[in-house]
């Protein structure tokens, strides 16, 4: 689990977008799971992203015209598959959202929407999760729960989690901290608070 930290406007989100193939960098290369994604064409990259990468953003990136369950089903629909309903119901129960699945996501609180976004990532069983200030819009308690889930993805499920954060507390829980300043990485090799 890696934290990306740095002042506002320093390039944290840009770095995350380049790492996850959402944005093209003008130089350098990005290698994920042994594949150089900077060499991939658009359709290969899209397939790779759908299969292996998950995203959690500050603004939840849920489809507001859909219900909770439809949002969870989206990554499967895009792959021509069906939502695994039992697993999906289990996750909704875990997140305390079991009564909400037929509701439009716009009727949910911020904390609930972020948990739907997380449930969607968990359900799609990707290898790498990129999170851009996932607790930024949440109260402390909801934020702590979201971080707990991200951490357990790394610790219990062996996933790679890359999280952009302003919070020293969040960064301190990560295995590694990457500091960004004025568009440059200061300390790519630094160890995080887990050791300190
Ligand atoms: N390495 C870079 N080279 C060129 N432009 C960059 C670089 N890093 C960031 N920027 C630009 O700086 C601005 C702020 O970056 P952003 O990633 O949104 O910062 P942060 O997420 O840290 O607040 C954006 O307009 C982005 O395009
Ligand atoms: Mg940002």
List, for residues 71-115, the tens digit of each pLDDT value: 999 989 888 899 999 999 998 998 889 899 999 999 998 888 988
Grouping H, G, I as helix, E, B as strand and the rest as coil, residue 69 is helix
* Ligand 1 atom with minimal separation from the 8 CA: 23
Indicate whether 156 belongs to any domain: yes
More confident residue, 14 or 188: 14
> What is the domain range of residue 150?
2-185
Which of 149, 37, 18 shows the shortest CA–CA distance to 95? 149
Confidence at 188, pLDDT banded by 50, 70, 90? low
Q: What is the pTM assigned to this prediction?
A: 0.85
Q: Is the CB of residue 8 below 6 angstroms from any atom belonging to ligand 1?
A: yes
CA 115/CA 148 separation, integer angstroms: 11
Indicate whether 195 belongs to any domain: no
pLDDT at 92: 92
Give nearest CA residue, ligand 1 atom 9. 11
Indicate whether 73 belongs to any domain: yes
CA 105/CA 50 separation, integer angstroms: 22
112 CA to centre of ligand 1 in angstroms = 29
User: What is the number of residues in the chain?
Assistant: 196
Average pLDDT, the chain: 88
Confidence at 157, pLDDT banded by 50, 70, 90? confident
**87: how many CB neighbours lie within 10 A of its CB?**
14
Indicate whether 166 belongs to any domain: yes
Among the residues of 95-167, which ranges form H helices?
110-123, 140-155
**How many domains does one find in the chain?**
1
Indicate whether 42 belongs to any domain: yes
Residue with tokens 């603004």: 59
pLDDT at 196: 31
Indicate whether 190 belongs to any domain: no
CA 57/CA 126 separation, integer angstroms: 16
- In whole angstroms, what separates CA 132 from the centre of its chain? 7
Q: Is the CB of residue 23 below 6 angstroms from any atom belonging to ligand 1?
A: no
CB burial of 94-110 (b: ≥16 within 10 Å; e: otherwise) equals ebebeebbeebbeebeb
182 CA to centre of ligand 2 in angstroms = 13
* Ligand 1 atom with minimal separation from the 15 CA: 17
Q: pLDDT tens digits, residue range 24-54?
A: 888 999 999 999 999 999 999 999 998 999 9
Q: Which whole number is the average pLDDT over 188-195? A: 49
**CATH number, residue 9:** 3.40.50.300
Indicate whether 143 belongs to any domain: yes
Radius of gyration in angstroms for the set of CA atoms belonging to the chain, rounded to a whole number: 17
């Amino acid at each position: 689990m890696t934290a990306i930290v740095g002042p506002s406007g320093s390039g944290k989100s840009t770095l995350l977008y380049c790492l996850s193939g959402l944005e093209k960098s003008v130089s350098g290369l990005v290698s994920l799971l042994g594949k150089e994604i900077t060499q991939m064409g658009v359709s290969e990259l899209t397939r790779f992203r759908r299969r292996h990468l998950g995203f959690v953003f500050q603004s939840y990136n849920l489809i507001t015209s859909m219900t909770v369950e439809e949002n969870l089903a989206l990554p499967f629909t895009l792959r021509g598959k069906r939502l695994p309903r039992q697993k999906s119901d289990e996750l909704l129960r875990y997140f305390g959202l079991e009564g909400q699945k037929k509701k439009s996501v716009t009727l949910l609180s911020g904390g609930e929407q972020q948990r739907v976004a997380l449930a969607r990532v968990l359900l799609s069983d990707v290898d790498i999760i990129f999170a851009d200030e996932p607790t930024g819009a949440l109260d402390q308690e909801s934020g702590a729960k979201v971080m707990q889930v991200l951490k357990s993805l790394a610790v219990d499920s062996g996933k790679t989690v890359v999280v952009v954060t302003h919070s020293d507390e969040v960064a301190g829980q990560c295995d590694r901290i990457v500091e960004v300043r004025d568009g440059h990485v200061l300390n790519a090799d630094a160890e995080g608070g887990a050791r300190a």
